[in-house]
Structure 1
Amino acid sequence: MKKAVALLVVVLCATVVFSQSKENKAVLEKVMQLNTQQEFKQLAKLFDTAKGRQVPPYLLYRAWNDVVDKFGNYKTTKTLKTEVKNGQEFVIEEFEFDSGYVKMKIGFSANHMITTYMLKEMTSKADRQLEEKYRLPAYVTVKNVQATSVEFGKAPFILKGELTMPKNAKTDVPVVVIVHGSGPGDMNGKQGPQQPYRDIAYGLASKGIAVLRYDKRTNTYADECAEDDYFTVNEETVYDAQEAVRFLHTYKGIDAKRIIVIGHSLGGMMLPRIADMEIPLAGVVFMAAPAKRLSDKIIEQMDYLAGLYPDKKESYEKQKDEFVRLQRHWYDTNTNKRYLPFGVGARYWDDIESYSQTEAAKKMKLPMLFLQGSRDYQVNNQDFELWKEALKSSPNATFRLLNGHTHNMIAGTGKPCPEDYNIPANVSLQVVDELTQWIKGLK
C-alpha cells in the first residue's frame, strides 16, 4: 500500500450554470492567497454551502499544511485545463511548491463559490526527473513480446490496458491479470522511476506467459468514484479484476483454463473476493498481500515512519489518529465522507474493516502462491507469518520469502524506507522466475 497522506477531498455537488470564468480566476487567486496566509476561516467562506454543508477550516488547514510539510513553500500556479460539466465550470490547476507539484480539480457554482476542491495528483520534482530514468529490465527480450492496447469492462467504467503476449506462440498461452494495490494506480504500478507491473508483464511475456495490466478505476474515473456515496473496495478493485478475467476468457490465443490473477498489496488482500466468480481461475498470487486489517496496516506504517523520521513524527501521529478513531467506529452511514480517511464514505470502511482475508482464503480450493519481500515495511514479515498460520492445513498454498526485496518486489539493501522507491530499479529476475515456474507448473 502506498504511504498514506492526509489530504482534503471535498466534493459539494451542485447543478447550476456558471457565468464568467474571469471571476472564477479571481477566486483561485484568493484561494492561494488565503492558504499562504493561513487564513482558513476566510477560505472556508469561499465554499458553496448548498444544502447546509459546511467546510470545516481545520480540514483546509490540514490539507494545506500537509502539502507544505511535504513539498515546502508555494511558488506558482498553472492552469492545465478548463472544462464544463453538468453546467459547472471546472479547472485543473497545478500548484508548484519548492520541491513538488500538486494537481487539483476545482469547480465553481454560478455565483463563483467553490463546489469541488479535489486532489488529483502529488508529484515531487525529483520523481518527475526520476520517471524519465525508467528502463525495461535486462531479462526482457522485447522482440519476443507483442503488446496490444485493449479496453474492457462495463459501461460507464470502461478501462484501458495493455495485453502483452509472447510472439509467434504455437498454442494458446496462460495469462496473468495484475491487480493494483491501494491508490489510483496506473497500469504500470508507477512510483518514481519504478514500474513493477510493466517489468512483470514484459518479463513473463518473454517467458511465454501473457499478462493483462490496466489503469485502475480510481485513476481513470477519479471524479465519479469520489462522488459515489456507495463506493466500496468492490468498486475500487474487485469488480474490474473480474471483468478483466471475463475479457480474457474469450480472447484469441489465451488458454481460458489457465487464467491467473496476481494481486499486489490491496489487490492481494481482495483475491478471495475476486476469485469468487463464475469463471474458475487456475490460481492466484498474493504478492506483498496484507493479512491484517487495512486500518491496522496503516497504523503500523505511520508508527514505522514516525520512528524513521522523528522530525515528521507529529504529522504521522495525526494521520495515525485518524485510523485509531476509525477503529472506534465513531461514524455512521450518514457521516459526510470528507470527515473520514482518504475522503471515502462509511460504506467503504464498514465493508473493508469487517472483511477477513485470511478467513476467506481458508475456503479457497485453487492453487495459491504467496510472495513476500523481507525488506517490505508496508506489508511486513508478520503478515507473511499470519498467512502461513492461517493456511497451514491447506495443501494448495505455496510460500516464498524473497530476501532483500521491497514492496515492489525489487531487491535492495539497508533499512527499508520510502526513498527505496526513488531508486531506478526493476523487479528482480528471481521474482519473474518464481512466477514463471509456479504458473507453468499448474495443472
Structure 2
Amino acid sequence: MASFQRRTVLTAVSTATVSALAGCSGLLADDSDDGDTSAAEDAAATFVETLADGEFEDAREEFIPEMRDDIATLAQLEQAWMGYTAIGGEFEGVDSTAADKQDGVYNVRISMSFEHGSHDLLFAMNDEYEYGEYAPADEYERPGYVDAAAITDEEVTLETDDDECELSGLVTMPEDGDDVPGVVLVHDAGQVSMDSDTTATKLFGDLAEGLASQGIATIRYDSRLAECDVDPDDHGIDTVAVDDALTAIDELRDADGVDSDEIVVVGHGFGGLAAPRIADEDGDLAGIVGLAAPARPFYEVTLEQIEHQATVGDHEWEARMDQYEEWEADVERIEDGDYDADEPVCGYYGSLWESLEDYDHVETAASLELPTYFLQGERDTRATVEDDLERWESELEDTESETAVYEDLNRAFMPGEGPATPMEYDLRNNVDERVVDDIATWVQDLY
C-alpha cells in the first residue's frame, strides 16, 4: 500500500466536521494515532461501491447525523457520483486506499479506476466508521498539447483605480516570439484566479499555454474580487470586469514581441458578456471571442443554473430548490429595479444588476465593426446552444461573426458524458484540444 502523506482529509474537510467526527467518538484529545487503518479503508471502499451501485439511501445512513442534511442528501450523493462517471466513464473498481488517523478522525484517500482513467477521493470518518465528509482529490495535469519548452511566462502586476488594490497577472509567450498576436483572457463572474482553476482543472492555464504553444501570446490575471476588498455597492460590470481587462489589454500591447494591433479579448461566461463592452471602450481590438457567453440577461442564466442543480438526477436537491424559488422572486425584483446596491440579489450584489440595466451586450456586439467568435459546449448548464448561441447567431447574422458548438463539452470546455453536475468541475480534466485549435486558427486568420 502506498504511503499516505500528511496532506489528509483535514485539508479538505471543515474544522466543524472534524470536531463533530472526533466528538462522536470521544477522541478529540488524541493528538495522533495512526495504528491499524484497514477497517477504515474497507469502510471507505464500501462507500464508493455503494455509490457505484446507486444505493444512495444506504450510503446516507452511514453518515453522522450532522452531515446528512449538509453534504449527504440523496441528491448530493447522486450528483457527486454523476460527476465522477461524467468525466471517468464507467466505474471499474477501487484501485487502492491509504489512510491515517489524527485527532480521532480516520482520513482515507481512495484511488478509483474508471473507463477513461483514474480519479481520487478524500474521505473522513470517526472511530466507529461513521462517514463525515468527502471531497475530490485529483491533481492537475498539464495537457499533452502544451509544449512547455516552447513557451515562457512573465509575472506582471496590473494597477487598478484603487491605490490599495493590485492584480497579479501572467504573460505567457511563445519562446522567441516576435510580432505575434495576443489574447487577453477575461474571467467569469466572482472570485476567479488567473488560471480559472478548480481542484484539478485550469481553464485559463490550459488556454494560455495551449495558445502560446501555437504562437499566440496571452495575458491572464486574478479577478479584482479575488484579490481586493470591493465595497458591495461597487460591484458593477466596469469594476469587476471591464476596467481591469482594459488595463490588461494595455499591458499586453506593451509586451515585447507582441503585435499591438492584433489583440483579441477572449471572455468566459460573464467575461464573454462583458467582451463587447470591453471592445467598445478600447476601440482598437482585432476581435472578441465569447466562451459560454450568455446572450440572455445574466440573471436568467444564473437562475437556470440553480434549477438544473436542483433537479438533475433522480433525487431533488431540496436546498437548491429552495434557493431556486428564492431567486425566482429575486429575478422579479431585478426586472422591477426593486433592490439596493449593497443588497445580495440572485447571488450577486444589487450594484452588478444596476450596472447591467442599461447595457445590452448583444446590441453592443452587433454595433462593433470587428470580427466575433462565439463557442458553446452543449453540456453547459448556464449558457446554452438553444437560448444563447442561437441568439448570438441571429442577432449578429449581418456582422462578421462565427460560432462553434462542441457536443460533449461542459461549461469549462472540458469533455464529459451525460448531464453536468458541480462535482465534475473539480475532477482532473483539460480544455479540449479542439477548442484551443479553433481559437488559435481564428486568431491567426485575423493576423
The residue number in structure 1 matching 2:61 is none
Counterparts of 1:391 and 1:332, CA distance in 2: 29
Q: Is the Cα–Cα contact under 8 Å of residues 151 and 174 in structure 2 kept in the other structure?
A: yes
**Residue number in structure 2 paired with 1:342:** 347
Whether 2:71 is the aligned partner of 1:71: answer yes
Say whether 1:134 aligns with 2:143. no
The structure with higher relative contact order (CA 8 Å, sep 6+) is: 2
Letter in 1 for 2:312: L
Letter in 2 for 1:388: E
Task: Among all aligned residue pairs of Structure 1 and Structure 2, give the percentage whose two residues are the same amino acid.
Answer: 29
Where 2:220 maps in the other structure, the secondary structure is strand
Question: Are residue 364 (structure 1) and residue 371 (structure 2) matched?
Answer: no
Q: Name the counterpart of 1:184.
A: 191
Residues 37-116 of structure 1: matches in 2 within 5 Å? 69-71=69-71
SS of residue matched to 2:262? strand
How many residue pairs were aligned?
331
TM-score by length of 2: 0.67
Specify which of 389, 401, 406 is matched with residue 394 of structure 2.
389
Distance 1:438 1:310 in 2: 41
Matched, 1:421 2:430: no
Structure 2 distance, partners of 1:205, 1:125, is 37
Q: Summarize deviations over 1:269-305 as a string: whole Å, max 9, x none.
A: 1111111224500111011101111111122122222
Secondary structure of the residue aligned to 1:408 is coil
Q: Aligned equivalents of 1:401 and 1:368: distance in 2?
A: 15
Shift of 1:309: 4.6
Answer yes or no: is the 8 Å Cα contact 2:218–2:252 preserved in 1: no
Q: 1:150 aligns with which of 148, 156, 159?
A: 156
Q: 1:335 to 1:371 in 2, by over 3 A?
A: closer
Provide, for residues 293-346 of structure 1, a one-character-per-residue CA deviation record: whole Å limited to 9, x for no partner. 1111122122222221564433222222333222322786874735534362x3
Distance in structure 2 (CA, Å) of the matches to 1:334 and 1:307: 28
Give the aligned partner of residue 260 of structure 2: 256
Match of 1:296 among 297, 300, 309: 300
Distance 1:334 1:380 in 2: 28
Spell out, residue by residue over 1:139-177, the C-alpha distance to the aligned partner (whole angstroms, 9 max, x if none): 1110101111111122423210111101122x2111111
Where does residue 97 of structure 2 map in the other structure?
A: none
Distance 2:255 2:305 in 1: 40
Amino acid at match of 1:71: I
Amino acid at match of 1:337: D
In structure 2, the partner of 1:281 is 285
Structure 2 residue 207 is the aligned partner of structure 1 residue 203: no
- Return closer, same or farther for 1:343/1:427 CA change in 2, 3 Å cut-off: closer
Task: Identify if the C-alpha distance between structure 1 residues 440 and 202 changes in structure 2 by more than 3 Å, giving closer, same or farther.
Answer: same
Equivalent in the alignment of 1:219: 226
Partner of 1:406: 410
TM-score when scaled to structure 1? 0.68
CA distance in 2, matches of 1:282, 1:336: 35
In structure 1, what is the Cα distance between the partners aligned to 2:198 and 2:337?
34
Q: 1:98 and 1:312, CA in 2 relative to 1: closer, same or farther beyond 3 A?
A: farther
Distance 2:358 2:314 in 1: 33
Give the residue type in structure 2 aligned to 1:392. Answer: E
CA distance in 2, matches of 1:217, 1:336: 18
Distance 1:412 1:288 in 2: 16
Tell me the secondary structure at the aligned position of residue 302 of structure 2.
helix
Q: Is the 8 A contact 2:342 2:351 kept in 1?
A: no
Q: What are structure 2's unaligned runs of at least 5 residues?
A: 1-14, 21-65, 74-102, 104-122, 126-132
C-alpha change, 1:240 and 1:125, in structure 2 (3 Å) is: farther
Query: Of the candidates 171, 174, 186, which is equivalent to residue 163 of structure 1?
Result: 171
Equivalent-residue separation in structure 1 for 2:273 and 2:211 (angstroms)? 23
Partner of residue 25, structure 1: none
Structure 1 window deviating more from structure 2 (422-431 vs 311-320): it is: 311-320
Partner SS state of residue 377, structure 1? coil
Q: Which amino acid aligns with 2:239?
A: E
Change (3 A) 1:267 1:391: same
Whole-angstrom CA distance in 1 between matches of 2:338 and 2:305: 27
State how far apart, in whole Å, the 2-side matches of 1:364 and 1:68 are.
52
**2:324 partner amino acid:** K
Which residue type is aligned with residue 384 of structure 2? N
Residue in structure 1 matched with residue 25 of structure 2 by the alignment? none
Distance apart, 1:376 and its partner CA: 1.3
**SS of structure 2 residue aligned to 1:136:** coil
